[in-house]
Structure formats: C-alpha cells, structure tokens
Amino acid sequence: MGKILDRLFPLREIRNVSMYYVLTSVYNMWFVAGIWVFIWGRFMSKTEIGISDAITFAIGFLFELPSGVIADLMGRKKAILLGNILLAFGNLGVALGSSFWSITGWYLMWTVGYAFQSGATEALTYDSVKLVGKQDQWNRVIGTATIISRVTSLSANVIGGLLFAVWFRLPYLVFAITGIVGIIAAFRLIEVPVKVSGNLWSPSLYLKQIKDGVSVLLSPKVKPIAIVSLLVAGMAYLYNWGLLRPLTGERFGYSPVTFPLLLAAVSIAVIITTMMLVRNKHRFSLEKMLFVAAGVHSVLFVVMGGNFNWLWGGMIMVLVTVCSAIVDQLFSQYINIHTKSEHRATTLSAITLMIKMPYVLLAIVLGILAEKQLLAQF
C-alpha cells in the first residue's frame, strides 16, 4: 500500500509536500465553476457582475506582489494560513450574500486571501523539496498537483451542478466548508527559513525585495520564456476565471446543468496530458514543448470566437485549456529552477500579478458585451 501511495503522491514523506497536495485539492474544489454567474445573476445584471468582478479583482490584483514580499520576508506559512482563513470566510459571505454590495464585499475578502496563498504555497513547497536535494523531482510534484487539481475540479464541477439544482446557495456554502480543511493543512505546514538581510520594518527592504524578485523575469535566460508563458497564462486567466468561459459555453449552447459536464471533460483531458508529460520528461526539450503549446493555444483562442455548435465548441474549449495547462506546468519547472529561495514567493507573486492584468482591465468590458449579446465579436 505504501509503495502505491508513493507512486501516486511522490515525495509525500515530506510534510510540506503532502500538505501541498491537500491544499491543492482545497483550492480547486470549484463547486461554483461555470455556475457562479448564474448565482450572482439572481441579484445582479451581467453588467453589474462585470463591475463587481473588476472591483474585487483589481484590489486583489494590488495585493498580489505585496503578499509575495510579505511571505518571503515574514514567513510563507503565515501568509498561507492567513490566505486560507480569508478564503473560507469570503466564500461563506458570498454564499449568504443577497445584494451587489454584500457579494462584492465578501468576494473581495476571498480575492485578497487568494493573493496571500498563491505565490507562498508553491514557494514553500519547492524550497522544502530543494532542502532535501530532490528538486529534480519537482516535475513529478507539480504534475501530481495538476492531476489532483483536475480530479478535484472534475468532481466538484459535477457536484456543484447538482447542488445548484437543489438550492442555488449550496455550491458556495459547501465551498466555504471545505475551507476548514485548508486552514488545518496550513497549520500543519513547517516553515523553511530563508535568508533575510535588513530591517523587516524598513520600506527600502520591501522595495529591494520587489526589485530582486521581478528582475528574475527580466534576466536574458528567462525573459523569452517568461514573455511567451505570461501571454498564454494571461489569456488563460481571462478565459478561466471571469465571465468569458461560462458565457462562451452559454453561446455554444451549454446550460447550468450541462456546462459542469464540459468542465469535467476538460479535467479528464488535462489529467491524461499531465501523465504523458511526466512520463516523457526527458524525450522533449522543455523550452520547445512550451513554445509549441503556446502557439497552438493562441490559435485556438482566436478560433474560439467563431460560431460553433455544442460539440465543436466544446472540443475547442477543451483543447484551449489543455494547452494552457501544459504551458503552466513547464513554466513552473523553468522559473523555480532559475529563482533563488529568498525571492521565490515574490517572483511567483509577480508572475500572478502580470497574469491577472488583462482580466482586471477587461472584466467590465466583458460584462457590458455580454449584456448586449456582443461577446462573440469580442
């Protein structure tokens, strides 16, 4: 039994890695994926949803880089714990919200919580692996985390649709309850100390940390990969997190009940692709594979704007997500190899900030276009 678990969950003997797997599952229990628009739509117009989404993500966006800096300087475990507490209470508030302002306020708490855990969780896990000299197995860890995220998402998407059919508030309520597991897992993490030089209360130290963290992405070796990966990730974030994906699904003929089934198919496709990536790590150049996946993703993203039936439209939506998942995993391997421990959370948070930028700028526009039924032209 132990050997089977070791194969399924590589490096699980490292506590932070095993907790990383648990947290990955918690972060991907998307009972509201694909149907959150329909839930919010009971209290807001599509334009108001776009405005609310833009306000909350703009503020969460501003927290991304500072949260990474705080994690590097004051401790990743503290940042992860705070993030999980905010996530749980934010989801509970949205579940009980019944107006534009109540939902917006609680969702704001959720986005800030997500910012605090986003860079810190991966940074702490990678440094835990590096501490025992097994960073060459990071592709197995990140691959397993991707599979966990998709299996969890697949299950949660189907369950979320059923919960929505029973009572529209149930998906968010169950999402909030799972946050308790995240808080417990965060408590069990072990801090990996990183070198900090200077006064923790000095503004200049924080500015230097930001500069050093961002400079990793601008180094000659990393810059080409970073530009391509960030462009793909930015498009993927705009598509996966906002109005674009559920409204595109709606345009292709999917309903609140059938759309979660499409998301389940997406998860299965990503799981299969990830398993193939892990098994064939040494057969292909990381850089070449990343560029090919990025190119295919960009073409499909444009094609997705066409008029298709549910079958062809669904296939395109599946392939778009598969390509972005490939880029995401390969970029994680590449950037962690080229980043020092003391800057890791800052660099990863800077990446998340750049990825979110297109979404923050376009969320309101998407809501207005959806209201006027002009999303396809976008």
Please state which of the ranges 130-134, 157-161, 165-169 shows the lowest mean pLDDT: 157-161
Residue tagged 């860890």 (tokens): 141
How many domains would you assign to the chain? Answer: 1
User: Is residue 185 very low, low, confident or very high in pLDDT (cuts 50, 70, 90)?
Assistant: very high
Q: What is the pTM of this model?
A: 0.83
User: Is residue 82 very low, low, confident or very high in pLDDT (cuts 50, 70, 90)?
Assistant: very high
User: Is 353 within a domain?
Assistant: yes
Handedness of CA 17, 20, 25, 28 (dihedral sign): negative
CA angle in degrees (0–180, nearest 5) for 186-187-193: 80
Range of the domain at 275: 14-192+201-371
User: Is 290 within a domain?
Assistant: yes
The helix/strand/coil state of 308 is coil
Tell me the residue type at 331.
F
- What CATH code is carried by the domain that includes residue 257? 1.20.1250.20
Q: What is the mean pLDDT of the chain?
A: 86
User: Is residue 377 very low, low, confident or very high in pLDDT (cuts 50, 70, 90)?
Assistant: low
pLDDT tens digits, residue range 7-55? 888 888 999 999 999 999 999 998 987 688 889 989 998 788 878 877 8
CA distance 43 to 49: 9
User: Is 286 within a domain?
Assistant: yes
Question: Which of 194, 191, 192, 186 has the alpha carbon at shortest distance from 80?
Answer: 186
For 142, phi and psi rounded to 5 degrees?
Answer: -70, -35
User: Is residue 265 very low, low, confident or very high in pLDDT (cuts 50, 70, 90)?
Assistant: confident
User: Is 158 within a domain?
Assistant: yes
User: Is 367 within a domain?
Assistant: yes
User: Is 3 within a domain?
Assistant: no
The helix/strand/coil state of 195 is coil
pLDDT of res. 281: 66
Question: Which of 321, 336, 356, 366 has the alpha carbon at shortest distance from 115?
Answer: 356
pLDDT tens digits, residue range 192-233? 987 777 666 667 777 888 888 888 888 888 999 999 999 998
User: Is 50 within a domain?
Assistant: yes
CA distance 39 to 168: 6
User: Is residue 141 very low, low, confident or very high in pLDDT (cuts 50, 70, 90)?
Assistant: very high
User: Is 377 within a domain?
Assistant: no
